[in-house]
């Protein structure tokens, strides 16, 4: 199955908001998802919103 990745996703469904995204330590606009390089504002069909931290 091919992942339907977009470099610019709609707000609220961007990589930076996904629980599978790992931000880059050197570039805040990029990161990885399942070992693939992605942009923090990108998105794909496997988006799952990060859980809110309990305070």
Give the pLDDT confidence of 10-27 residue by residue, as tens digits.
999 999 999 999 999 999
53: pLDDT strictly greater than 70: no
pTM (2 decimals)? 0.84
- Short-list 4, 1, 9, 3, CA closest to 43: 9
pLDDT at residue 52, as a whole number: 74
């Amino acid at each position: 199955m091919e992942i339907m990745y977009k470099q610019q996703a709609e707000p609220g469904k961007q990589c930076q908001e996904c629980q599978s995204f790992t931000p880059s330590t050197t570039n805040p606009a990029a990161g990885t998802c399942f070992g693939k390089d992605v942009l923090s504002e990108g998105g794909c069909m496997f988006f799952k919103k990060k859980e809110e931290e309990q305070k």
